Structure 1
Amino acid sequence: MNARIEDARIEDARPPGRSRRVAGLAARVLARTLLLAAGLAVAAVGFGWFVDAHRETVAYLSAPACGSPAAVPGAPCTAHETGTVRAKRIVNGNDDTEYELTVARETVTGGFFDVGAAFYEDVAVGTYVDLTVWNGRVAELSYHGHRARNPDTPWLASFQVALVVAAGATLTVYGVGGLRRDTWKFPLIAYGFFVLAAFFGSLIFVGAQWPLALVLGIPVACWLLLTAMVTGANLAG
C-alpha cells in the first residue's frame, strides 16, 4: 500500500516539469514556424512588387503605337519621332568605354543617350535616327537595325522591393535557425546585407527583356541562395 502511494507521488511530481519543457519546445517551434511563414509571405509580396515594376519598365515594348487602330483613347501608347544627332562623345572609364550621342528631338529638348559601339560608328553628326517615345520620354533609339534602349531606372520601386524582400529573407533566416540572445546584432547586419543585395539585383533585372520566368526565376534563386548562406552563418554562430 505504501509503495503504491509512493509511486503515485512520484507520478504526480514528474508531469509539471515535463509539461513545462514540452510547452517551451512547442512555443519555440510555433514561433519559428510563424517566423518562417511570415518571411515567405513577405518575400512573396516583395517579388510581386518586383514583377509589377518590371512590367511597367518594359510596357512600351508591347504597347500599341499612338494613332493605330489598336490604341485605346486615353491609354498609354508609343509615339515615334525622328531625332537628329548633334554631337558624339566617347567616355573612357576604368572598366569599359561608353558611347554617347546627343540627339535633338522634334518637339522637345533632346539629351544624351548611351549606345553601342556599332551604333556609334554608323552615325554621324546630322544623321536622323528613329525615337520611340513612351510617356513623354525617349525609351529607345534605332537606326538601320541598331537599337539602343534608354530605360527609366526605377530607383524608388527597386528600393521599396529591396526593403520588403530583405525583411522576408531576415524573417526566414530566424524562422529556420531561431534567434539567440547573444546574437542580437546579427539580424540588423543580415537585414542590411539583404537590402543591398536585393536593391542592386532589382536594378539589374527589373528592366531585362527576357521571359518572365527568367526575370523572376533568377532573383528568386539568388534570394534562396543568400538566405541559405545567412541561415548557415546564423546556425554556425
Structure 2
Amino acid sequence: MDAWVGKLGKPERRRAVPRAVRVAGRVLLTVVGLSVVCFGFVLFVGAYETAGAYLGAPVCGSPEAGAGVDCVRQESGRVTRKYESGGDSTSYMLTVARETEPGDSYSVSRSFYRDVEVGTSVDLKVYRGAVVRLAHRGHEDEQRAIPVPAVVEVALLVSGGTAVALHGLRAPARGRRWRPTLMAVPTVVATLLGSSLLIVYQWSFAATLTVSVVGWLIAVFAGAAVVDS
C-alpha cells in the first residue's frame, strides 16, 4: 500500500521527444517558412513588373500596338494650378487638365515647376488610363504610384516566413522562442520601405532582385544573431 501511495506522489516524468521527430519538425518549419518567403518574392516581382510595364509598352498607333495590346498613348494637357507642399522637404505640384479625363495633381522637379505657368501646355504619356510621364521643353518626370496593397502583402509574407524559418533553423530554447517572432517587426518595416523604393525607382531586374535577396539575407543573419544571443 505504501509503495502504491509513493508511486502516486511522484510527479510523472515528461517523455523526451525523439531526436528524429525534433529534426523533422525543424525541417518542416524551415521548408514552410522559406516557401512563404519565396511566394512573397514572387508577388514582389509581379508588382515590380506591373509598375514598370509601360517602359517597354509600344506607342498607341504603332505597328507593334496590335489589337488587345496595352500601349502608351500620347496626350496634351494644360496646367491649371501650380503649388508647393510639404515642410522640410518641399514637393512641387502641378494640377494638369487632360484632354479626355478630369485634371489631377502630379509631383515634378523644381526645374520643371519653374518652367511652366498656369495655362502652359505639357505633353503627357498615358498607360492603362493613368499618366505615367509629364514632359515640357526637355523636362521629363515619371509618375509612378506605389501599389500599397501588394507591398503590404509582400512585407507580411516575407517577414512571417522569415520568422517561421528562423524557428526551424535555430530551434531557440524555450525562453527564447519569442525572439524570431519579434524580429518580424523590423523585417516588416524594412520590407515595406525597401520594396516600395525598388518598385518606384525601377532599376534593372537583375539589380532589383540582387538588392532584394541581399537585404533578406541580412535580415536572416540578424535574426539568427538575436536568437542565439
TM range (shorter): 0.7 to 0.9
Match of 2:160 in 1: 167
Distance 1:152 1:24 in 2: 53
Counterpart amino acid of residue 165 in structure 1: V
Establish whether residue 88 from structure 1 lines up as the match of residue 78 from structure 2. Answer: no
Q: Which of residues 25, 42, 57 is equivalent to 1:48?
A: 42
Deviations along 1:48-75, whole A, 9 cap, x unmatched?
Answer: 1101110000101111112211112122
Match of 1:149 in 2: 142
Distance 1:78 1:101 in 2: 21
SS at match of 1:131: strand
Alignment of 1:20-31 (within 5 A): 24-31=18-25
SS at match of 1:206: helix
Q: Which moved more, 1:81-90 or 1:198-207?
A: 198-207
Mapped contact 1:85–1:101 kept (Cα < 8 A): yes
Counterpart amino acid of residue 38 in structure 1: V
Distance 2:205 2:66 in 1: 25
Distance 1:29 1:146 in 2: 60
Distance 2:222 2:178 in 1: 17
Deviations along 1:152-191, whole A, 9 cap, x unmatched?
Answer: 3200111111121112211221222113322343343223
Establish whether residue 35 from structure 1 lines up as the match of residue 19 from structure 2. Answer: no
Deviations along 1:198-229, whole A, 9 cap, x unmatched?
Answer: 22222111232211011111121111101211
Alignment of 1:93-172 (within 5 A): 93-94=87-88, 96-172=89-165
Give unmatched runs, 5+ long, in structure 2: 1-14
Distance 1:92 1:46 in 2: 33
Match of 1:58 in 2: 52
Mark the structure with the bigger radius of gyration.
1
Match of 1:17 in 2: none
CA RMSD of aligned residues (A): 1.9
Counterpart amino acid of residue 93 in structure 1: G
Normalising by structure 2, we get a TM-score of 0.86
Mapped contact 2:167–2:177 kept (Cα < 8 A): no
Distance 1:172 1:184 in 2: 12
Establish whether residue 78 from structure 1 lines up as the match of residue 75 from structure 2. Answer: no
Mapped contact 1:132–1:140 kept (Cα < 8 A): yes
Give unmatched runs, 5+ long, in structure 1: 1-19
SS at match of 1:120: helix
Q: CA deviation at 1:80?
A: 0.9
Runs of 4 or more, structure 1, over 4 Å off, are none
Give the number of aligned pairs.
Answer: 215
Q: Percent identity?
A: 37
Q: Which of residues 207, 212, 228 is equivalent to 2:221?
A: 228
Mapped contact 2:96–2:105 kept (Cα < 8 A): yes
Distance 2:138 2:29 in 1: 52
Mapped contact 1:35–1:171 kept (Cα < 8 A): yes
Match of 2:208 in 1: 215
